[in-house]
Amino acid sequence: MSKKVVIDIFVEDRAHEAFLKPLIERIAQEENIVVLTRVRSARGGHGKAMEEYKLYQDNLLKGFLRDAHPDLVVVAIDGNCWSFSKMRDEIQNKTRPELKHLIVAACPDPHIERWYLADPNSFYDVIGNLPRVGRKKCRRNYYKNILTGTIRNAGHPLTLGGMEFAQDLVAAMDLYQAGRNDHSLDAFVNELRGKFKQLIAT
């Protein structure tokens, strides 16, 4: 596909942005697609991201945005111990009917740091220490603490709370194994691949 695919990204915070941008670009490369990613919201948490998402939709449909119309829109919010399907439904319910066909939901369950840890073997290859993830926990900062603690114990200085390793972790990750370990990640990867295949077919 010769045309560049424009993808707008709505995320809760920089940890989402740091992980999702290289993940989207990796999947696009695997599907022989060139993408341009544009982050539309990257701070302020769930509520702020949804507010910006509503405003963005209004401006897009009214023709107020100066740059290219997106081919896809990735909306990322943490599951926060709700199910992936419930969070995906929330995104769909807050999406204007005219734009629903563009949407890909990214809903890490329960938090984005779990996606960083989804493939422990490749994590070890990058960081030099094996994370002990265990069964899914809903406690606040549980996975953030595992992520930062594992990196710190490997002897790395923590400058961005683990985000500085996101690109390398995504590049090394076995997405099949990561998807088996985390169904919310698997759902996002499969949905995004499906959207790319639809774009190729049109």
| Cα–Cα distance, 123 to 132 (Å, whole number) | 11
pLDDT of residue 156: 96
pLDDT of residue 138: 81
Angle between the 14-30 and 183-201 helix axes, to the nearest 10 degrees?
50
Q: Is the pLDDT of residue 43 over 80?
A: no
Q: What is the mean pLDDT of residues 93-99?
A: 96
Beta strands at 5-10 and 72-76: parallel, antiparallel or unpaired: parallel
Beta strands at 5-10 and 35-41: parallel, antiparallel or unpaired: parallel
Least Cα distance to 184 among 56, 49, 47, 77 occurs for: 77
Among 40-54, 141-155, 160-174, where is mean pLDDT lowest? 40-54
Which stretches does DSSP call E strand in the chain? 5-10, 35-41, 72-76, 103-106
pLDDT of residue 42: 67
Q: Is the pLDDT of residue 186 over 90?
A: yes
Report which of residues 172 and 80 the model is more confident about: 172
Give strand pairing partners of 74.
Answer: 9, 104
1-42 pLDDT tens trace: 567 999 999 998 999 999 999 999 999 999 999 999 999 876
Query: Six-digit token pair at 139?
Result: 């406690």
Can you give the pTM of this predicted structure?
0.94
Among 81-85, 91-95, 176-180, where is mean pLDDT lowest? 81-85
- pLDDT tier, 65 (very low <50, low <70, confident <90, very high otherwise): confident
Residue spans of the domains in the chain: they are 5-201
Of the chain, the percentage scoring pLDDT greater than 70 comes to 99
Neighbours of 1 (CB within 10 A): 14
166-179 pLDDT tens trace: 999 999 999 999 99
Query: 100 CB contacts (<8 Å, ≥6 apart)?
Result: 92
107-137 pLDDT tens trace: 999 999 999 999 999 999 999 999 998 777 7
First to last CA, the chain: 10
